[in-house]
Structure 1
Amino acid sequence: MYSINDATAAQPDVIALIDELDRYQRALYPAESNHLLDLAALPAQKLILRKIRHTEGATVGCGAVVLNGDGSGEMKRVFIDPRHRGQRLGEILIAALEQEAAARFCHTLRLETGIRQLAAVKLYERCGYQTCRAFAPYVDDPLSIFMEKTLIADLRFAMQ
């Protein structure tokens, strides 16, 4: 059994997962194609961060949304421990992040992932994300795939 919990970027279990993700991405891409955002440097009101815990106590996944203040957000740092993949934990985590983002009036989520992370691309596609053009602060990069999903088509409906 697993649970999804609020998290902070200063928690040692979250730091350990992000370090593992960083090592993985550094092995796949050159430094200029790695967009490794330090979540701890962000103001708390701009960040949604969740972690997945196994009933035995281990933290096995994490993910974040950075809210941009214009009604959009960026999905960052989504990672599931390889030993716990194949159980749809990514979909559950993304749904939890999307739900909280929509509750904070975020109408669109975007993300950048790499071309060598085919499992991640398939995960995002299963969750309804579609490819799009590079968005700020990114520029076109042949090693990047940019995706987006509309969470709330009309914000007036979110306030009801």
Structure 2
Amino acid sequence: MAVTIAIETPLQNDVRALVAHLNDHLLPLSPVEFQFKMTVEQMAGSDTTLFVARDETGRAVGMGALKVHSPELGEVKRMFTLPEVRGQRVGSQLLTCIVDLARERGLNTVMLETGTGQGMAEAHRLYTRFGFTPRGPFLDYPESQWSAFFEMHLTAPAVPA
């Protein structure tokens, strides 16, 4: 599937719909208090850059964001692709854009928090194939059975998944 990926505002109806799909996907996977969601308003902040993947008709089919926490640390947030495009490398392309932007900004490390269990197995495969390695909690995330944490040090080139 041919997609185009661009930096866009999250304050668009079709991006809001993607966020709603992501939230619906996450809801049954873990208790709400262990779901660390950013709203579209938070995603529109100056510390966050959102990439949107669109298919050849212009339909938003995926998204992922880089949130910069410090001059050294960025975090992958709100990674999601519609179920019908999974397995077509859209997530990998989004992750490449996020990591490339982190490199451009001179960040040393990119980390992420994601869920655990069967509903998150594809995400874990994407992150590990891309070169992220498991780690413990970071920032103010609590240790729990519901979260998995990954990091990538940006001293080596990205490995497309």
TM-score by length of 2: 0.90
Return the alpha-carbon distance in structure 2 between the equivalents of residues 152 and 43 of structure 1: 29
Please report the RMSD computed on the Cα atoms of aligned residues, expressed in angstroms.
Answer: 1.4
The question of whether the paired residues in 1 share the 8 Å contact of 2:43 and 2:50 is answered with: no
Tell me which residue corresponds to 2:27. 26
Tell me which residue corresponds to 1:158. none
Tell me which residue corresponds to 2:154. 151
**1:39, CA displacement in angstroms?**
4.3
Tell me which residue corresponds to 1:135. 138
Deviations 1:84-141 (Å, cap 9, x if unpaired)?
A: 1111111111001111111111111100111121110001001100000100110101
The question of whether the paired residues in 2 share the 8 Å contact of 1:48 and 1:101 is answered with: no
**1:45, CA displacement in angstroms?**
3.0
- The runs of 4+ residues in structure 1 deviating greater than 4 Å are none
Structure 1 residues 111 and 48: CA distance shift in structure 2, 3 A: same
**1:36, CA displacement in angstroms?**
0.8
Return the alpha-carbon distance in structure 1 between the equivalents of residues 53 and 127 of structure 2: 18
Percent identity, aligned pairs only, is 32
Deviations 1:31-74 (Å, cap 9, x if unpaired)?
A: 11111122422564311110000011111000001001241011
2:76 counterpart of 1:75? yes
- Opposite residue 125 of structure 1, the aligned amino acid is T
TM-score by length of 1: 0.90
Q: Counterparts of 1:60-99 in structure 2 under 5 Å?
A: 60-99=61-100
Between the two proteins, the alignment pairs up a number of residues equal to 153
The question of whether the paired residues in 2 share the 8 Å contact of 1:106 and 1:152 is answered with: no
Return the alpha-carbon distance in structure 1 between the equivalents of residues 101 and 126 of structure 2: 19
Return the alpha-carbon distance in structure 1 between the equivalents of residues 135 and 100 of structure 2: 22
- Opposite residue 19 of structure 1, the aligned amino acid is A
- Opposite residue 129 of structure 1, the aligned amino acid is F
Structure 1: any 5+ residue segments left out of the alignment? 154-160
